[in-house]
């Protein structure tokens, strides 16, 4: 099932997903358009635990990590005021990461079967934006971070990129509109390409009386 009004931004670590979501949020802040920016892991109790594990502060089995991501996603989707609630009442929701991340990262960690099983019942986004960068560029960007997470090693990131490239056609076959972008392009150019893709979503035609956000000056 595809959840209308829902878009996600995906990519390997260092690809710029968080930067692009921040630019989108800034653009929408000057508009009355109904927009909600979010991310995974969330800031909820399960997401907070996941972030501790990612930072290496505590350790769990790989299978447990897959289950934690699925639990956090269920809360993200179905809790009051969550993704599904907002989309169904006519808000545009854009998330920095969603189930494709689990199918890629946890698929590498513990094999594809468990992540697929855990995420199978979750709705697909209407639009999936993938920022593609080579592992060398990704690692150069990661070097500037003060704190690195457990997945940010060179060998793992190579596998992440390969896994995304295998996964994207699966989403396309399921009816998801997939936008494949060069994540090494200037961030302003990427932001405009992402914006044009969002403008094609039906929600813009169904929300009269709201001005489309202009690009920040």
CATH number of the domain that residue 146 is part of: 3.40.50.300
Angle, helix 17-29 to helix 187-199, in steps of 10 degrees? 60
Give CA 119 to chain center in angstroms: 14
Residues 30-70: pLDDT tens digits?
888 999 999 999 999 999 999 999 999 999 999 999 999 99
**If you ran DSSP here, which 8-state letter would residue 33 be given?**
S
> What pLDDT is attached to residue 156?
87
Q: Report the b/e string of 33-46 with b at 16+ CB within 10 A.
A: bbbbbbbbbbeeeb
The kind and range of the H/E element at 51 are helix 45-54
Residue at 44 is within a domain: yes
Which residue would you say has higher pLDDT here, 141 or 97? 97
In a domain, 102, yes or no: yes
What value does the mean pLDDT take over residues 204-216? 58
Q: What DSSP string runs through 105-153?
A: IIHHHH-SHHHHHHHTTSPEEEEEEEEE--HHHHHHHHTT-SS--TT-S
Residue 210 has pLDDT above 60, yes or no: no
Residue 209 lies in a domain: no
Which position has the higher pLDDT, 104 or 134?
104
Other C-beta atoms within 10 Å of 174: how many?
Answer: 12
With respect to residue 68, please indicate whether it lies within any of the assigned structural domains: yes
Instruction: Determine which of 97-106, 109-118, 149-158 has the lowest per-residue pLDDT on average.
Output: 149-158
Beta bridge partners of 130: 10, 180
- Indicate whether 23 belongs to any domain: yes
Within-domain flag for 153:
yes
Is residue 145 very low, low, confident or very high in pLDDT (cuts 50, 70, 90)?
A: low
- Is residue 207's pLDDT more than 80? no
Give the 3-state secondary structure of residue 180: strand
* pLDDT score, position 217: 42
The number of distinct structural domains making up the chain is 1
Domain that includes residue 50, residue range: 2-204
* pLDDT over threshold 90, residue 204: no
pLDDT band, very low/low/confident/very high, at 216 (cuts 50, 70, 90): very low
198 is a domain residue: yes
Cα angle vertex 154, ends 127, 143, to 5°? 90
Q: What is the pLDDT of residue 48?
A: 97
**How large is the average pLDDT for residues 65-86?**
98
Sheet holding 2-11, edge to edge: 35-39, 92-96, 2-11, 124-132, 177-182
- Better-scored residue on pLDDT, 212 or 31: 31
Q: Are strands 92-96 and 35-39 parallel, antiparallel or unpaired?
A: parallel
Q: H-helix or E-strand containing 182?
A: strand 177-182
Residue 214 lies in a domain: no
């Amino acid at each position: 099932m595809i959840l209308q009004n829902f878009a996600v931004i995906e990519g390997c670590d260092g690809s710029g997903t968080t930067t692009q979501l921040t630019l989108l949020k800034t653009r929408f802040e000057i508009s009355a358009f109904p927009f909600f920016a979010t991310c995974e892991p969330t800031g909820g109790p399960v997401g907070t635990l996941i972030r501790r594990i990612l930072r290496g502060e505590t350790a769990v089995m790989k299978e447990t990590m897959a289950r934690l991501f699925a639990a956090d996603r269920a809360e993200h989707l179905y809790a009051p005021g969550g993704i599904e609630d907002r989309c169904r009442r006519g808000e545009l929701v854009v998330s920095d990461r969603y189930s494709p991340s689990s199918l890629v990262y946890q698929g590498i960690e513990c094999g594809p079967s468990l992540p697929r099983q855990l995420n199978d019942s979750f709705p697909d986004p209407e639009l999936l934006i993938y920022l593609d960068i080579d592992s060398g560029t990704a690692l150069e960007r990661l070097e500037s971070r003060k704190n690195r997470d457990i997945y940010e090693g060179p060998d793992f990131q190579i596998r992440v990129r390969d896994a995304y490239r295998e996964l994207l056609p699966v989403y396309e076959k399921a009816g998801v509109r997939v936008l494949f972008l060069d994540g090494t392009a200037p961030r302003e150019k990427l932001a405009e390409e992402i914006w044009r893709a969002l403008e094609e979503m039906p929600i813009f035609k169904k929300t009269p009386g709201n001005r489309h956000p202009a690009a920040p000056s």
